[in-house]
Amino acid sequence: MKRWSVALGLLVSAVFLYLAVRGLHLGEVWAALRAARYGWLLPGVAVYFVGLYLRAWRWHYLLRPLQPVPTRTLFPIVTIGYMGNNIFPARAGEVIRAVLLKRAQGVPISASLATILVERVYDGVVMLGFVFLNLPELARVAGAHSGFVGDLQTLALWGSGAFGAALAVFLLAGMFPGRAEKWLQRALRPLPPGLRARVLPLGQAFLQGLRGLGSPKEAWMIFATSVAIWLLETAKYWFVMHAFAFRVPFFALMLMNGVVNLATTLPSAPGYVGTFDTPGIAVLVTYGVDKAVAAAYTLTLHAALWLPVTALGAFYALRAGLHWRELAAADTLATQEPTP
Protein backbone atom coordinates (compact mmCIF):
# COMPACT_ATOMS: atom_id res chain seq x y z
CA MET A 1 0.00 0.00 0.00
CA LYS A 2 2.86 2.37 0.78
CA ARG A 3 4.41 1.78 -2.62
CA TRP A 4 1.08 2.38 -4.35
CA SER A 5 0.43 5.58 -2.40
CA VAL A 6 3.89 6.90 -3.22
CA ALA A 7 3.47 6.01 -6.90
CA LEU A 8 0.05 7.68 -7.01
CA GLY A 9 1.44 10.80 -5.35
CA LEU A 10 4.28 11.03 -7.85
CA LEU A 11 1.86 10.61 -10.74
CA VAL A 12 -0.47 13.33 -9.46
CA SER A 13 2.47 15.71 -8.93
CA ALA A 14 3.77 14.99 -12.43
CA VAL A 15 0.38 15.84 -13.96
CA PHE A 16 0.10 19.07 -11.98
CA LEU A 17 3.66 20.09 -12.84
CA TYR A 18 2.95 19.50 -16.54
CA LEU A 19 -0.07 21.79 -16.28
CA ALA A 20 2.02 24.40 -14.48
CA VAL A 21 4.89 24.57 -17.00
CA ARG A 22 2.76 24.21 -20.13
CA GLY A 23 3.08 27.44 -22.09
CA LEU A 24 5.65 28.92 -19.70
CA HIS A 25 8.82 30.59 -20.96
CA LEU A 26 11.40 29.56 -18.39
CA GLY A 27 13.66 32.47 -19.30
CA GLU A 28 10.93 34.90 -18.25
CA VAL A 29 10.42 33.00 -14.99
CA TRP A 30 14.16 33.20 -14.30
CA ALA A 31 14.15 36.93 -15.04
CA ALA A 32 11.31 37.46 -12.55
CA LEU A 33 13.19 35.45 -9.93
CA ARG A 34 16.37 37.48 -10.47
CA ALA A 35 14.49 40.77 -10.14
CA ALA A 36 12.72 39.79 -6.90
CA ARG A 37 13.44 41.68 -3.67
CA TYR A 38 13.94 38.78 -1.29
CA GLY A 39 14.10 40.92 1.84
CA TRP A 40 10.29 40.80 1.86
CA LEU A 41 10.51 37.10 2.72
CA LEU A 42 11.76 37.88 6.25
CA PRO A 43 8.53 39.41 7.62
CA GLY A 44 6.63 36.71 5.74
CA VAL A 45 8.54 33.96 7.53
CA ALA A 46 8.06 35.78 10.84
CA VAL A 47 4.26 35.93 10.58
CA TYR A 48 4.21 32.29 9.47
CA PHE A 49 5.95 31.21 12.67
CA VAL A 50 3.49 33.26 14.72
CA GLY A 51 0.76 31.24 13.02
CA LEU A 52 2.67 28.02 13.74
CA TYR A 53 2.79 28.92 17.43
CA LEU A 54 -0.98 29.51 17.28
CA ARG A 55 -1.32 26.00 15.84
CA ALA A 56 0.51 24.65 18.86
CA TRP A 57 -1.78 26.67 21.14
CA ARG A 58 -4.86 25.32 19.32
CA TRP A 59 -3.61 21.78 19.82
CA HIS A 60 -2.98 22.52 23.51
CA TYR A 61 -6.60 23.72 23.74
CA LEU A 62 -7.95 20.56 22.10
CA LEU A 63 -5.80 18.33 24.32
CA ARG A 64 -6.91 19.89 27.61
CA PRO A 65 -9.69 17.35 28.34
CA LEU A 66 -7.15 14.55 27.84
CA GLN A 67 -4.10 16.05 29.53
CA PRO A 68 -2.86 19.61 30.00
CA VAL A 69 0.24 20.03 27.83
CA PRO A 70 1.93 23.46 27.69
CA THR A 71 2.10 25.17 24.32
CA ARG A 72 5.88 25.52 24.66
CA THR A 73 6.09 21.72 24.89
CA LEU A 74 3.87 21.22 21.86
CA PHE A 75 5.54 23.77 19.58
CA PRO A 76 8.63 21.60 18.80
CA ILE A 77 6.37 18.57 18.25
CA VAL A 78 4.14 20.53 15.87
CA THR A 79 7.21 21.83 14.02
CA ILE A 80 8.65 18.32 13.65
CA GLY A 81 5.26 17.18 12.38
CA TYR A 82 5.17 19.89 9.72
CA MET A 83 8.70 18.92 8.71
CA GLY A 84 7.42 15.35 8.37
CA ASN A 85 4.57 16.52 6.13
CA ASN A 86 7.15 18.23 3.91
CA ILE A 87 9.59 15.34 3.50
CA PHE A 88 7.46 12.19 3.83
CA PRO A 89 4.46 11.20 1.69
CA ALA A 90 0.81 10.99 2.75
CA ARG A 91 1.04 13.71 5.46
CA ALA A 92 3.02 11.34 7.66
CA GLY A 93 3.89 14.28 9.90
CA GLU A 94 0.43 14.09 11.49
CA VAL A 95 1.16 10.57 12.72
CA ILE A 96 4.66 11.64 13.77
CA ARG A 97 3.08 14.31 15.99
CA ALA A 98 0.85 11.76 17.68
CA VAL A 99 3.72 9.32 18.24
CA LEU A 100 6.01 12.02 19.68
CA LEU A 101 3.26 13.27 21.99
CA LYS A 102 2.75 9.71 23.24
CA ARG A 103 6.47 9.44 24.00
CA ALA A 104 6.72 12.83 25.67
CA GLN A 105 3.43 13.00 27.60
CA GLY A 106 1.82 9.56 27.44
CA VAL A 107 -1.26 10.76 25.54
CA PRO A 108 -2.84 7.80 23.66
CA ILE A 109 -2.07 7.97 19.94
CA SER A 110 -5.68 7.36 18.93
CA ALA A 111 -6.87 10.27 21.09
CA SER A 112 -4.24 12.70 19.83
CA LEU A 113 -4.94 11.67 16.23
CA ALA A 114 -8.58 12.57 16.85
CA THR A 115 -7.56 16.09 17.89
CA ILE A 116 -5.33 16.38 14.81
CA LEU A 117 -8.21 15.27 12.59
CA VAL A 118 -10.39 17.94 14.22
CA GLU A 119 -7.71 20.51 13.32
CA ARG A 120 -7.73 19.40 9.72
CA VAL A 121 -11.52 19.59 9.49
CA TYR A 122 -11.53 23.12 10.93
CA ASP A 123 -8.76 24.07 8.51
CA GLY A 124 -10.83 22.72 5.63
CA VAL A 125 -13.86 24.72 6.75
CA VAL A 126 -11.80 27.93 6.93
CA MET A 127 -10.24 27.28 3.52
CA LEU A 128 -13.66 26.77 1.98
CA GLY A 129 -14.78 29.98 3.67
CA PHE A 130 -11.89 31.81 2.00
CA VAL A 131 -12.97 30.39 -1.36
CA PHE A 132 -16.68 31.21 -0.94
CA LEU A 133 -15.95 34.71 0.34
CA ASN A 134 -13.98 35.57 -2.79
CA LEU A 135 -15.89 33.75 -5.54
CA PRO A 136 -18.07 36.78 -6.46
CA GLU A 137 -15.00 38.98 -6.96
CA LEU A 138 -13.25 36.24 -8.92
CA ALA A 139 -16.31 35.83 -11.15
CA ARG A 140 -16.30 39.58 -11.80
CA VAL A 141 -12.62 39.57 -12.71
CA ALA A 142 -12.68 36.41 -14.83
CA GLY A 143 -16.12 36.74 -16.37
CA ALA A 144 -19.35 35.15 -15.28
CA HIS A 145 -18.89 32.13 -17.54
CA SER A 146 -15.32 31.30 -16.60
CA GLY A 147 -14.77 27.59 -16.41
CA PHE A 148 -12.20 28.13 -13.65
CA VAL A 149 -14.77 29.92 -11.48
CA GLY A 150 -17.31 27.21 -12.17
CA ASP A 151 -14.82 24.52 -11.20
CA LEU A 152 -14.08 26.36 -7.95
CA GLN A 153 -17.77 26.66 -7.16
CA THR A 154 -18.24 22.93 -7.68
CA LEU A 155 -15.18 22.16 -5.55
CA ALA A 156 -16.41 24.47 -2.80
CA LEU A 157 -19.89 22.97 -2.77
CA TRP A 158 -18.68 19.37 -2.58
CA GLY A 159 -16.00 20.26 -0.08
CA SER A 160 -18.48 22.11 2.10
CA GLY A 161 -20.67 19.05 2.24
CA ALA A 162 -17.79 16.76 3.21
CA PHE A 163 -16.12 19.01 5.77
CA GLY A 164 -19.44 20.24 7.15
CA ALA A 165 -20.68 16.69 7.73
CA ALA A 166 -17.41 15.68 9.42
CA LEU A 167 -17.47 18.75 11.65
CA ALA A 168 -21.09 18.10 12.63
CA VAL A 169 -20.26 14.51 13.63
CA PHE A 170 -17.25 15.64 15.68
CA LEU A 171 -19.22 18.39 17.42
CA LEU A 172 -22.03 16.01 18.34
CA ALA A 173 -19.56 13.40 19.61
CA GLY A 174 -17.74 16.01 21.68
CA MET A 175 -20.91 17.50 23.16
CA PHE A 176 -22.64 14.16 23.84
CA PRO A 177 -19.84 11.70 24.74
CA GLY A 178 -22.15 9.16 26.37
CA ARG A 179 -24.36 8.87 23.32
CA ALA A 180 -21.32 8.82 21.03
CA GLU A 181 -19.93 5.79 22.86
CA LYS A 182 -23.27 4.02 22.53
CA TRP A 183 -23.27 4.76 18.79
CA LEU A 184 -19.73 3.40 18.57
CA GLN A 185 -20.68 0.17 20.35
CA ARG A 186 -23.69 -0.30 18.08
CA ALA A 187 -21.55 0.27 14.98
CA LEU A 188 -19.06 -2.39 16.13
CA ARG A 189 -21.62 -5.08 17.00
CA PRO A 190 -21.43 -6.81 13.57
CA LEU A 191 -17.68 -7.41 14.04
CA PRO A 192 -16.33 -10.72 15.39
CA PRO A 193 -15.88 -10.59 19.20
CA GLY A 194 -12.08 -10.73 19.05
CA LEU A 195 -11.79 -7.92 16.53
CA ARG A 196 -14.42 -5.87 18.37
CA ALA A 197 -12.45 -6.21 21.61
CA ARG A 198 -9.37 -4.74 19.88
CA VAL A 199 -11.15 -1.95 17.98
CA LEU A 200 -13.45 -0.72 20.76
CA PRO A 201 -10.68 0.67 23.06
CA LEU A 202 -9.15 2.51 20.10
CA GLY A 203 -12.53 3.98 19.20
CA GLN A 204 -13.08 5.03 22.80
CA ALA A 205 -9.68 6.74 22.88
CA PHE A 206 -10.57 8.49 19.62
CA LEU A 207 -13.81 9.78 21.16
CA GLN A 208 -11.83 11.07 24.14
CA GLY A 209 -9.84 13.19 21.70
CA LEU A 210 -13.06 14.94 20.65
CA ARG A 211 -13.86 16.19 24.15
CA GLY A 212 -12.20 19.51 23.36
CA LEU A 213 -15.39 20.29 21.39
CA GLY A 214 -17.59 19.71 24.42
CA SER A 215 -19.31 23.09 24.35
CA PRO A 216 -20.26 25.70 21.72
CA LYS A 217 -17.83 28.14 23.36
CA GLU A 218 -14.91 25.75 22.91
CA ALA A 219 -15.94 24.96 19.34
CA TRP A 220 -16.06 28.67 18.49
CA MET A 221 -12.69 29.23 20.17
CA ILE A 222 -11.11 26.58 17.93
CA PHE A 223 -12.79 28.11 14.88
CA ALA A 224 -11.62 31.65 15.72
CA THR A 225 -8.07 30.41 16.26
CA SER A 226 -8.17 28.58 12.93
CA VAL A 227 -9.26 31.75 11.14
CA ALA A 228 -6.42 33.69 12.78
CA ILE A 229 -3.91 31.01 11.76
CA TRP A 230 -4.91 31.15 8.10
CA LEU A 231 -5.09 34.94 8.01
CA LEU A 232 -1.50 35.00 9.28
CA GLU A 233 -0.50 32.55 6.55
CA THR A 234 -2.23 34.78 3.99
CA ALA A 235 -0.23 37.69 5.40
CA LYS A 236 2.87 35.73 4.40
CA TYR A 237 1.50 35.51 0.85
CA TRP A 238 1.04 39.30 0.97
CA PHE A 239 4.60 39.99 2.14
CA VAL A 240 6.12 37.68 -0.47
CA MET A 241 3.99 39.36 -3.16
CA HIS A 242 5.81 42.63 -2.46
CA ALA A 243 9.03 40.99 -3.62
CA PHE A 244 7.58 40.81 -7.15
CA ALA A 245 6.26 43.32 -9.69
CA PHE A 246 2.53 42.72 -9.33
CA ARG A 247 -0.24 43.58 -6.89
CA VAL A 248 -3.54 41.85 -6.22
CA PRO A 249 -5.99 42.47 -3.37
CA PHE A 250 -5.50 40.70 -0.05
CA PHE A 251 -8.79 38.90 -0.71
CA ALA A 252 -7.30 37.43 -3.89
CA LEU A 253 -4.47 36.00 -1.81
CA MET A 254 -7.03 34.59 0.63
CA LEU A 255 -8.63 32.83 -2.33
CA MET A 256 -5.27 31.56 -3.52
CA ASN A 257 -4.48 30.30 -0.01
CA GLY A 258 -7.79 28.48 0.18
CA VAL A 259 -7.48 26.91 -3.26
CA VAL A 260 -3.89 25.71 -2.95
CA ASN A 261 -4.42 24.23 0.51
CA LEU A 262 -7.53 22.39 -0.61
CA ALA A 263 -5.54 21.08 -3.60
CA THR A 264 -2.76 19.84 -1.31
CA THR A 265 -5.20 17.40 0.27
CA LEU A 266 -4.74 15.37 -2.94
CA PRO A 267 -2.06 12.66 -3.01
CA SER A 268 1.22 14.14 -4.19
CA ALA A 269 4.97 13.89 -3.93
CA PRO A 270 6.43 15.00 -0.58
CA GLY A 271 6.26 18.75 -0.12
CA TYR A 272 3.04 19.06 -2.17
CA VAL A 273 5.00 19.44 -5.40
CA GLY A 274 2.68 20.52 -8.18
CA THR A 275 -0.54 20.41 -6.17
CA PHE A 276 0.48 23.67 -4.48
CA ASP A 277 1.98 25.40 -7.51
CA THR A 278 -0.46 24.79 -10.35
CA PRO A 279 -3.66 26.07 -8.69
CA GLY A 280 -1.76 29.01 -7.20
CA ILE A 281 -0.53 30.10 -10.61
CA ALA A 282 -4.03 29.63 -12.06
CA VAL A 283 -5.62 31.94 -9.47
CA LEU A 284 -3.08 34.70 -10.09
CA VAL A 285 -3.37 34.42 -13.87
CA THR A 286 -7.14 34.78 -13.53
CA TYR A 287 -6.49 38.07 -11.73
CA GLY A 288 -4.41 39.26 -14.68
CA VAL A 289 -0.91 38.47 -13.40
CA ASP A 290 1.58 37.45 -16.10
CA LYS A 291 2.03 33.68 -15.95
CA ALA A 292 5.82 33.85 -15.72
CA VAL A 293 5.64 36.29 -12.80
CA ALA A 294 2.91 34.21 -11.18
CA ALA A 295 5.07 31.10 -11.51
CA ALA A 296 8.14 32.85 -10.06
CA TYR A 297 6.08 34.16 -7.13
CA THR A 298 4.42 30.80 -6.43
CA LEU A 299 7.75 28.96 -6.60
CA THR A 300 9.31 31.43 -4.17
CA LEU A 301 6.30 31.30 -1.84
CA HIS A 302 6.36 27.50 -1.88
CA ALA A 303 10.05 27.48 -0.98
CA ALA A 304 9.48 30.06 1.78
CA LEU A 305 6.70 27.90 3.23
CA TRP A 306 8.71 24.68 2.93
CA LEU A 307 12.29 25.51 3.90
CA PRO A 308 12.09 27.43 7.23
CA VAL A 309 9.71 25.06 9.01
CA THR A 310 11.55 22.02 7.63
CA ALA A 311 14.88 23.38 8.87
CA LEU A 312 13.49 24.23 12.31
CA GLY A 313 11.77 20.85 12.53
CA ALA A 314 15.04 19.11 11.67
CA PHE A 315 16.78 21.13 14.40
CA TYR A 316 14.20 20.10 17.00
CA ALA A 317 14.37 16.46 15.86
CA LEU A 318 18.16 16.39 16.15
CA ARG A 319 18.04 18.12 19.53
CA ALA A 320 15.60 15.47 20.77
CA GLY A 321 17.90 12.70 19.51
CA LEU A 322 15.40 11.46 16.94
CA HIS A 323 16.66 9.47 13.97
CA TRP A 324 15.21 9.69 10.47
CA ARG A 325 14.36 5.98 10.53
CA GLU A 326 12.24 6.52 13.64
CA LEU A 327 10.34 9.36 11.98
CA ALA A 328 9.83 7.39 8.77
CA ALA A 329 8.48 4.42 10.76
CA ALA A 330 6.02 6.52 12.78
CA ASP A 331 2.96 5.06 11.05
CA THR A 332 4.12 1.55 11.99
CA LEU A 333 4.68 2.63 15.59
CA ALA A 334 1.19 4.13 15.70
CA THR A 335 -0.44 0.87 14.66
CA GLN A 336 1.48 -0.94 17.41
CA GLU A 337 -0.01 1.15 20.23
CA PRO A 338 -1.24 -1.21 22.94
CA THR A 339 -4.95 -1.06 23.63
CA PRO A 340 -5.94 0.17 27.11
Q: What is the pLDDT of residue 145?
A: 45
Cα–Cα distance, 183 to 191 (Å, whole number) = 14
Q: What is the pLDDT of residue 170?
A: 86
Q: Lowest-confidence range among 31-45, 51-65, 128-142, 320-334?
A: 320-334
Q: At 123, phi and psi to the nearest 5?
A: -60, -40
Domain that residue 144 falls in? 67-335
pLDDT at residue 81 is higher than 90: yes
Q: Tell whether 296 is covered by a domain.
A: yes
Task: Decide: 228 and 124 in contact? Cβ < 8 Å.
Answer: no
Q: Tell whether 22 is covered by a domain.
A: no
Q: What is the pLDDT of residue 205?
A: 80
Mean pLDDT of 22-46: 96
Q: Tell whether 125 is covered by a domain.
A: yes
pLDDT at residue 127 is higher than 50: yes
Number of domains into which the chain is organized: 1
**pLDDT level of residue 150 (50, 70, 90 thresholds):** low
Mean pLDDT of 281-306: 95
Average pLDDT, the chain: 88
Q: Tell whether 21 is covered by a domain.
A: no
Q: Tell whether 28 is covered by a domain.
A: no
Of the candidates 182, 174, 227, which has an alpha carbon nearest to the alpha carbon of residue 64? 174
Q: Tell whether 26 is covered by a domain.
A: no
Concatenating the DSSP letter of every residue in 85-101 gives HHHSSTTHHHHHHHHHH
- Cα distances (angstroms) measured from residue 263 to each of 85, 124, 267: 15, 11, 9
Instruction: List CB contacts of 203: < 8 A, sequence separation 6 or more.
Output: 110, 184, 188
**pLDDT level of residue 340 (50, 70, 90 thresholds):** very low
Of the candidates 79, 338, 29, which has an alpha carbon nearest to the alpha carbon of residue 201? 338
Task: Give per-residue pLDDT as tens, 181-230.
Answer: 899 888 988 888 888 888 888 888 888 888 878 888 888 999 999 999 99
| Of residues 239 and 320, more confidently modeled | 239
**pLDDT level of residue 4 (50, 70, 90 thresholds):** confident
Q: What is the pLDDT of residue 339?
A: 46
Q: What is the pLDDT of residue 335?
A: 54
Of the candidates 46, 59, 131, 136, which has an alpha carbon nearest to the alpha carbon of residue 93? 59
Cβ burial of 230 (10 Å; 0-12, 13-18, 19+) is: buried
Displacement of CA 24 from its chain's centroid (Å): 28
- Exposure string of 325-336, with b = 16+ CB inside 10 Å and e = fewer, is eebeebbebbee
pLDDT at residue 21 is higher than 70: yes
pLDDT at residue 7 is higher than 60: yes
Q: What is the pLDDT of residue 300?
A: 98
**pLDDT level of residue 289 (50, 70, 90 thresholds):** very high
Mean pLDDT of 72-77: 97
Cα–Cα distance, 336 to 174 (Å, whole number) = 26
